[in-house]
Amino acid sequence: DQQVKQNSPSLSVQEGRISILNCDYTNSMFDYFLWYKKYPAEGPTFLISISSIKDKNEDGRFTVFLNKSAKHLSLHIVPSQPGDSAVYFCAATMTAGTASKLTFGTGTRLQVTL
């Protein structure tokens, strides 16, 4: 039972354009969401996060949008750069309870072309 889904396994975007990565979740108890970026042969690194009390969080070129009613979040990268080429995972958690384990999506491979 995949509680966090990324329906697009891959995405190709031209340098300078906007990249939009999407993520859907089914568990209404999730109240905190994160995006991680992963290069080959490296561990995932934290990118940006959002609490369910917000609908938008921005950090430089990266913006995450949350639509709670639709159980949907998206990551916007503007402008896209070749160094953004990586696999992006969205993750969700329930902040109540111990350890606050993260449930990850299946990932979207972003390729930014010149």
Partner 1 sequence: DVKVTQSSRYLVKRTGEKVFLECVQDMDHENMFWYRQDPGLGLRLIYFSYDVKMKEKGDIPEGYSVSREKKERFSLILESASTNQTSMYLCASRKPGQLYYGYTFGSGTRLTVV
Q: Report the distance separating Cα 50 and Cα 53, nearest Å.
A: 8
Contacts of 95 (CB under 8 A, 6+ apart): 31, 32
Lookup: tokens for 57:
């969080």
User: Which backbone phi and psi does 70 adopt, to 5 degrees?
Assistant: -90, -5
Does position 92 interact with partner 1 (CB under 8 A)? The reply is no
Does position 63 interact with partner 1 (CB under 8 A)? The reply is no
Nearer to partner 1, 37 or 85 (CB): 37
Does position 56 interact with partner 1 (CB under 8 A)? The reply is no
SS3 83: helix
Shortest distance in whole angstroms from residue 44 CB to partner 1? 5
Does position 42 interact with partner 1 (CB under 8 A)? The reply is yes
Out of 10, 45, 67, 81, the only residue in the binding site for partner 1 (CB under 8 A) is 45
Q: Report the distance separating Cα 112 and Cα 19, nearest Å.
A: 9
Does position 102 interact with partner 1 (CB under 8 A)? The reply is yes
- Binding residues (CB under 8 A) for partner 1: these are 4, 6, 9, 32, 34, 36, 41-46, 49, 89, 91, 93, 95, 98-107
